[in-house]
Amino acid sequence: MQDHHKITGGCSSSRVKGDDMWSATIMRAVWIATLLLWTMAPARSEDSRQVTLGLSAWLTQPIVQSAWRGAELAVEDGNALAARKKSSYRFRLLAQDDQGTANFGVNVARYFIKEKVAGVIGPWSSDAAMATAELYEAARIPQISFTAGTSQWTSQGNRMPFRVVGGTADVGAVLAQVSAATLKGKRVFIIHNDSAYSNALTDELAAHLIKHPGLSATRYLVGRRSTDFNAAVKAATQYQADVLVFLALFPQASAFVEEVRRTGLDAKLLLVGGASSLSFGEGELPQAHVLEYELAREHCPRWKAFTQAYVRRYNAAPSPYSYYAYDATSMMIAAIEQAGSTDGEKIAATLHRMRHAGLSGPISFTASGANAAPRFRLYQYHAKGQWRQVGVFPPGAGQNEKCL
């Protein structure tokens, strides 16, 4: 047994030396192969450049959350496209609640500047947009808003603000056309609040309405948080209004329409911006209309794909703001990719040159950052939350555009 053990041990010793040489050879080969693979491989995740985009919006509002979701889907699509094109950029969305106010908007702006975001989607309200314009301009951070509509924001000579929807100058002109020509209004009653957007839009609408002979108009101020519109509707009745234009905040719209229905007022109603996502009950309300800020292109592949992705992910239908926010976020991402830089000046310069394929058609900007060719659609309400499109502005908009 001892001899056998010695012989086995002697043979084992010679094999260890051979195995060591063989292992060393294998290790060298593995190292060379690994080195070759490392030099030939595409950029790894740790080599990618993460880009943060800020979302400044009134996040506690359900309608705003639908916009937030649209922005999230745009980031996902942007990252998927970057991966396919072997771009090293990867994007993330940093959302902050500006509560639709100037003060909170300023707080959010300072935070985004500290975090060195490459761009901002928003702000949500014109109040926040106006209050933060100089902060973002000084920090060279471009913003693309999908709601802040006051035309003053993009007419102050700054290079950083952009807007994918029409401004108050555009919307006011179309609202006047709808009130006078489409709805045949002769006595127009405008309900507004003291927000920057509502005041600016009311001024624009009133200025256009007085150009129509035989038409009179008046305006009625309500509180920003008011949900009691009894006095406003009573005043409209006394005025013998045949068209009521509601330009207060979106969350107030349902309470206003319910008051009109309760009183039995038969004047035509005209709302704006996102109201087509509202349901006014089971019964018909044919006098209710809403002017939305883009063209609906349900028959187009990109529109369908976004809508289906949204429903799959969130088990709910997107609101108009979902589409607006998707376009704003997608355009910011595309500008960063095209510029090949996160420098705000370069991104802004790229945005000024871009013609972007948005969900509702091409988007480009004027020298001031306003939407160069805003388009609108008019809806009329029917039963059970159904809205039917009854017009587009300017007439014929989108008819000859390629469906993507």
- Please report the DSSP string for 92-145 in residue order: EEEEEE-TTSHHHHHHHHHHHHHHT-SEEE--SSHHHHHHHHHHHHHHT--EEE
Q: How confident is the model at residue 282 (pLDDT cuts 50, 70, 90)?
A: low
Q: How confident is the model at residue 178 (pLDDT cuts 50, 70, 90)?
A: very high
* Mean pLDDT in residue range 343-355: 98
Percent of the chain with pLDDT over 90: 73
Question: How do residues 14-70 score in pLDDT, each as one tens digit?
Answer: 333 444 444 444 444 434 443 333 333 344 444 689 999 999 999 998 889 999 999
Q: Which two tokens stand for residue 52?
A: 């943060």
Of 241 and 275, the structure prediction assigns the larger pLDDT to 241
Residue 2 reports pLDDT greater than 50: no
Residue 280 reports pLDDT greater than 90: no
Q: How confident is the model at residue 253 (pLDDT cuts 50, 70, 90)?
A: confident
**For position 173, what pLDDT does the model report?**
97
**For position 283, what pLDDT does the model report?**
67
* Mean pLDDT in residue range 242-251: 90
Percent of the chain with pLDDT over 70: 88
Instruction: Tell me if 347 sits within 8 A of 353, measured CB to CB.
Output: no
* Mean pLDDT in residue range 115-132: 97
* Mean pLDDT in residue range 74-99: 97
**For position 380, what pLDDT does the model report?**
93
Question: How do residues 318-346 score in pLDDT, each as one tens digit?
Answer: 999 999 999 999 999 999 999 999 999 99
* Mean pLDDT in residue range 173-201: 96
**For position 231, what pLDDT does the model report?**
96
* Mean pLDDT in residue range 3-12: 36
> 3-class SS at 247?
coil
Q: How confident is the model at residue 401 (pLDDT cuts 50, 70, 90)?
A: confident
CB atoms within 10 A of CB 114: 9
Instruction: Tell me if 292 sits within 8 A of 315, measured CB to CB.
Output: no
Residue 180 reports pLDDT greater than 90: yes
**For position 47, what pLDDT does the model report?**
66
Strands 376-381 and 387-393: antiparallel
Candidate ranges 67-76, 258-267, 380-389; pick with highest mean pLDDT: 67-76
**For position 189, what pLDDT does the model report?**
98
* Mean pLDDT in residue range 287-306: 93
**For position 34, what pLDDT does the model report?**
37
Residue 317 reports pLDDT greater than 80: yes
Residue 375 reports pLDDT greater than 90: yes
**For position 277, what pLDDT does the model report?**
84
Q: What's the CA gap between 146 and 63, in Å, rounded?
A: 13
Q: What is the mean pLDDT of the chain?
A: 88
Residue 379 reports pLDDT greater than 70: yes
Q: What's the CA gap between 387 and 254, in Å, rounded?
A: 15
